Structure 1
Amino acid sequence: MNFENKNKELQNLLKNKASGQESSIRTQYNKFGDPNYNITKLAREIESVCKSIYQPLTEDAKATHDKLILQIKMDDPPAILQFNIEFESLIKAVEEILNSQVGQSDKIDELVQNGLLNKWVEDGLIHHKERTICAFCSNIIPSERFEALRHHFDEESKNLKSRINKGIELLNSKKSLLKVNIDVNYFYNSFHIELNSLKSELSNLLEMQKNSFNTLILCLEDKKINYLVLLILYHLLIILMIFIKFWIVLELLGKNILTGQTS
Structure 2
Amino acid sequence: MEKYEAELGNEEDKSGLLGELLRAEEKFKKARKAHDDKLLELEGKLRNKANKADSGIKHNKSFGDANYNVQKIKTDISTVIQDTYSPITDDQVGKFHDLLREEPKSEISESSSFNLQYSAIASKAKELIEKKIQASDPIQELLNDAALATWVRTGRGHHQEKRDKCAFCGSDLPKDLWEKLDKHFNQESEVLRQALENLLESIEHERSRVTNLLKIKNSDFYSKFAAGLDALAEQLSTLSTSYCDSLDAIKEQAEKRKEDIFTPLEFDAPESGEEDLNAVRDSFEQLRNESNRFTASLSADQSKACAALRLHEVYTFINDIKYDDECKAIDALNEAMRKAEKSKNEILPKNRTAG
Q: Tell me how far 1:197 sits from its aligned partner.
A: 0.9
Q: Answer with 246-255 or 74-83: which moved more.
A: 74-83
CA contact (8 A) 1:77 1:186 kept: yes
Q: Is 1:120 matched with 2:151?
A: yes
Distance of 1:55 and 1:64 partners within structure 2: 11
Q: CA deviation at 1:143?
A: 3.4
8 Å contact kept, 1:19–1:27: yes
Find out whether 1:221 has 2:252 as its counterpart: no
Is the Cα contact below 8 Å between 1:76 and 1:260 reproduced in 2?
no
Q: CA deviation at 1:15?
A: 2.9
**Higher mean C-alpha deviation, range 249-258 or range 129-138:** 129-138
User: What CA deviation, in whole Å up to 9, does each residue of 1:109-165 have, x standing for no partner?
Assistant: 332233222111111122222444333233344334443222111222221111122
Q: Tell me what 1:151 maps to.
A: 183
**C-alpha distance in 1, partners of 2:204/2:243?**
12
| Contact 2:136/2:186 (8 A) holds in 1 | no
The answer to whether the 8 A contact 1:31-1:70 is kept is no
Between 164-173 and 79-88, the greater mean CA deviation after superposition: 79-88
C-alpha distance in 1 between matches for 2:277 and 2:137:
46
Q: Is the 8 A contact 2:160 2:178 kept in 1?
A: no
1:77–1:127 distance in 2 versus 1, CA, 3 Å: closer
Is 2:176 the counterpart of 1:176?
no
Q: CA–CA distance in 1 between the matches of 2:90 and 2:291?
A: 28
Structure with the larger helix share: 2
Q: What does the per-residue CA deviation read over 1:171-226, in whole Å, with 9 as the maximum and x for residues that have no partner?
A: 32333333021211222211111111112212322333233333333332222212
Q: TM-score, normalised by structure 2?
A: 0.58
Please tell me the residue identity of whatever aligns with 1:177. Answer: R
Shift of 1:253: 0.7
- Partner of residue 222, structure 2: 188
Return the match for 1:109 from 133, 140, 147: 140
Q: Corresponding residue for 1:208? A: 242
Aligned AA (1:162): Q
From 73, 77, 94, the equivalent of 1:38 is: 73
1:260 aligns with 2:293: yes
| Secondary structure of residue in 2 paired with 1:100 | coil
Q: Which residue of 1 aligns with 2:264?
A: 230
Q: In 2, distance between residues paired with 1:55 and 1:221?
A: 64
Distance in 1 of aligned mates of 2:55 and 2:267:
70
The residue type equivalent to 1:38 in the other structure is I
The change in CA–CA distance for 1:146 and 1:185 in structure 2 (over 3 A counts) is closer
Shift of 1:245: 0.8
Q: State how far apart, in whole Å, the 1-side matches of 2:244 and 2:139 are.
A: 37
Residues 81-101 of structure 1, C-alpha deviations (whole Å, 9 max, x = no match): 342344312221121111223
Instruction: From the superposition, tell whether residues 17 and 109 of structure 1 become closer, same or farther in structure 2 (CA, over 3 Å).
Output: farther
Q: Distance in 1 between matches of 2:93 and 2:144?
A: 73
Q: Structure 1 residue 244 and structure 2 residue 275: aligned?
A: yes
Q: Which amino acid aligns with 1:163?
A: A
**Corresponding residue number in structure 2 for 1:51:** none
Partner of 2:48: 16
Give me the whole-angstrom Cα distance separating, in 2, the residues matched to 1:196 and 1:5.
59
The structure showing larger relative contact order (alpha-carbon pairs under 8 Å, at least 6 residues apart) is 2
Aligned partners of 1:260, 1:87: CA distance in 2, in Å?
A: 33
What count of residue pairs does the alignment treat as equivalent? 251
The higher radius of gyration belongs to 2
- Partner Cα separation in structure 2 for residue 210 and residue 117 of structure 1: 31
Query: Structure 1: where are the runs of 5+ without partners?
Result: 47-53
2:125–2:250 Cα contact (<8 Å) kept: yes
Q: TM-score, normalised by structure 1?
A: 0.76
CA distance, structure 2, for counterparts of residue 128 and residue 163 of structure 1:
25
The one-letter code matched in structure 2 to 1:81 is: S
State the Cα RMSD in Å: 3.7
Q: 1:80 to 1:126 in 2, by over 3 A?
A: closer
